[in-house]
Amino acid sequence: MTMKMLVGLGNPGEKYKNNRHNVGHLFIDYVNKQLSNKHQLQNFKMLKTDCFMNVSGIFIKKLLSGNRQLTADNLMVVHDDLDIPFGKFKTQLATGPKLHNGILSIEDELGTNDFWRVRIGVDNRGENKVDGETYSLQDFTNEELKQLQPSFEKVYKQLSLIIK
């Protein structure tokens, strides 16, 4: 049976824990809470990056290099996306946001874009356009954190179907 891997992108450390850029880490935490029977995932790995977003490719390449069962086409990367409104998401193969340094790093290191992306929308700026880098490194508000839960539930349900 083929090994699959779900990796949540984000930045390490307490300082970044609730940043919009860390929605991938937050989603992995959510999934871990949902799983009551870990044995259902024998051939499935879930991880959070332990490096800064812009060098995510190095982390992913090490994971794939260390396990012959894991290939780019069995990789699902969960990340923030400013091209998608807050609360929405897209699951797509080989296509992603206009600009995302974590995804670009992965594509550069793997030499391919042929992997799944779970693009979770974090853009809630409305009329007050703050530049993307500044905005993605800001913490979610408490209200936004609450509102993420229904979005995470929808993503989790869709991924459950894809994984099966």
CA atoms within 13 A on the CB side of 14: 0
Catalytic positions: 21
